[in-house]
Chain A
């Protein structure tokens, strides 16, 4: 029997199996942000174990509430800042250099094929787009990761998701993943890795693949994963060019991580996407998803474009294309948060920021506080938000608020009209 990419990464990183089925892996990356890390730091200090296993493998950022909004968040920022200095972490991103963790760390080239990655954040699964095993963990796992560079997992099963058929214009990876989650259900992939494959996946940019993998957790998945290929090598090239004589060599090397043709899967799902419409969530679970046509006309109060799901340059380009020459509805507040400083600058240079501002959007610094109802765009009770984020739980963006998940194109079109709108009805330029 062959192995899946996840099996191969597990085999190559296995440190210990203290009991049958409990696999302790060596970690290549331990990622940290200011919400879940300070408690781990405090606990390590309390235990008299304020150490780090490797200052080059631990990366930290302040991203959820930044700049700090009050004393409590200022203390969280101070704790992680001082800890990063104390242990001389090679990479720590403070105000002005910081961005949404799952956009910033890949952009810096920290994630490589075959890596094991943990973070105290459930959307760590995003990094699987690079052919890595990347899992969200709690603070205790994070703490042990920081101290010892290991994490324990049950060996995950793999569900293969074949995406084929091609996407119609105006349909994006966000629509695909919402559709996949609707099929799987919110626990359809629990204890499993979602392996995205097939021609549609192979044709996707790294940004689009990150959007796919980002939402694996919304089906309960431990990690989303894509096979590393030419597109991965192109993205990583500035960071790996000293390691390989040429790109072809890198692509060849990456193949060691590809799933074998006879690999064992728990389930194989096949999606023909040729007729897929843009998708929008309703209700309070990410598997409650309908084609945009069925929800069109529903009123929203706020439109939020950003987050670790869809705050990357491609997303801003798509939204700006729709907003160009238009203004958003009077009844709507538009908030756009470019996910990293690099994306922000790029958007400035390409004139996208100008388009957003002309249309009436508020452009914030790179942060994601609105996504989880902490800052920069929290909803009031009864308010509805059209959002490019990944989670629509009750109260997620503010107590009593409700969230419709959608692509940046649908969100931008919705901002223009003030009601949920199929971007393709607005223009032919999606």
Chain B
């Protein structure tokens, strides 16, 4: 599945959003990624958040706070984003396994300092923010209400190589 790093963002204003909230364990009996699609963020504890609302349905990126994806190793968490077309996560920090799982699947788990995350959340208050990530240049272009802004970021050469290769299986298979 080709990964697309642009589109409207949804803002999840909380630290420590865990894998059980992203995809509850009862759905881990599924053996295909596609079957996970209806359940994205079903158990998220966040005031005003609707797991079945249009904002989430239309989202192609998630902007959030610290330690995103903590808890279980389940790759079902990145997959539920993947099959819903959300291939970019932007957070202040991640749990290690979740971050690795994102890149292993050829998707982006971008880290930004708190100031920049705050700035993105500010933009979010003005309306729907559309993001466009230039992986080579390492810049996030954000547009809202006719205004453009840029957020430079850094990912490691290895992470970039995984995104380019389409994931770790492809990379490892070609090399080992």
Contact = CB atoms under 8 A, between A and B. Distances in A.
Nearest to B78: A138
A121 B74 CA distance: 7
Nearest to A68: B29
B99 to A, nearest CB: 9
Interface string A292-310: 0000000000000000000
A345 to B, nearest CB: 29
A36 B19 CA distance: 14
A39 B75 contact: yes
B139 interface: no
A13 B86 CA distance: 36
Contacts of A15: 176
A16 interface: yes
B158 A393 contact: no
B79 to A, nearest CB: 8
A380 interface: no
Interface in B91-106: 93-97, 100-101, 104-105
Given A36-B75, A137-B73, A141-B104, A152 B168 contact: yes
A60 to B, nearest CB: 16
A20 B157 contact: yes
A1 B175 CA distance: 33
A191 B96 contact: yes
Contacts of B31: 38-39, 42, 72, 75-76, 79
B76 to A, nearest CB: 8
A237 B175 CA distance: 39
Given A49-B173, A140-B105, A395 B43 contact: yes
A137 B100 contact: yes
A187 B169 contact: no
B95 A187 contact: yes
A269 to B, nearest CB: 19
Contact of A393 (B18, B97, B168): B18
A18 B67 contact: no
Contact of B29 (A24, A65, A143): A65
Interface in B53-97: 66-67, 70-75, 78, 93-97
- Most B-side CB within 10 Å, residue of A21, A39, A120, A121: A39
A121 B104 CA distance: 16
Nearest to A40: B75
Nearest to A150: B176
Given A138-B97, A139-B75, A186 B28 contact: no
B30 interface: yes
A147 interface: yes
B71 A140 contact: no
Interface string A56-71: 0000000001000010
A194 B161 CA distance: 29
A144 B168 contact: yes
Nearest to A44: B169
Contacts of B100: 137-138, 141, 152
A393 B169 contact: no
B8 interface: no
Contacts of A147: 169, 172-173
B158 A373 contact: no
Nearest to A122: B73
Interface string B117-159: 0000000000000000000000000000000000000001110
Interface string B1-45: 000000000000000101011001110111111000000000101
Contacts of A399: 24, 26, 43
A393 B70 CA distance: 10
Contacts of B18: 393-394
A156 to B, nearest CB: 9
Closest 3 CB pairs of A and B: A22-B158, A138-B75, A138-B101
Interface of A: 15-16, 18-22, 24, 35-36, 38-39, 42-43, 47, 49, 65, 70, 72-73, 75-76, 79, 120-122, 124, 136-141, 143-144, 147-148, 150, 152, 154, 186-187, 190-191, 220, 222, 284-285, 372-374, 391, 393-396, 399
Given A152-B100, A187-B93, A394-B18, 19 more contacts: A21-B158, A24-B176, A39-B75, A72-B31, A76-B29, A137-B97, A138-B75, A138-B97, A144-B172, A152-B168, A154-B156, A186-B67, A187-B16, A187-B95, A190-B94, A374-B26, A393-B21, A394-B21, A395-B21
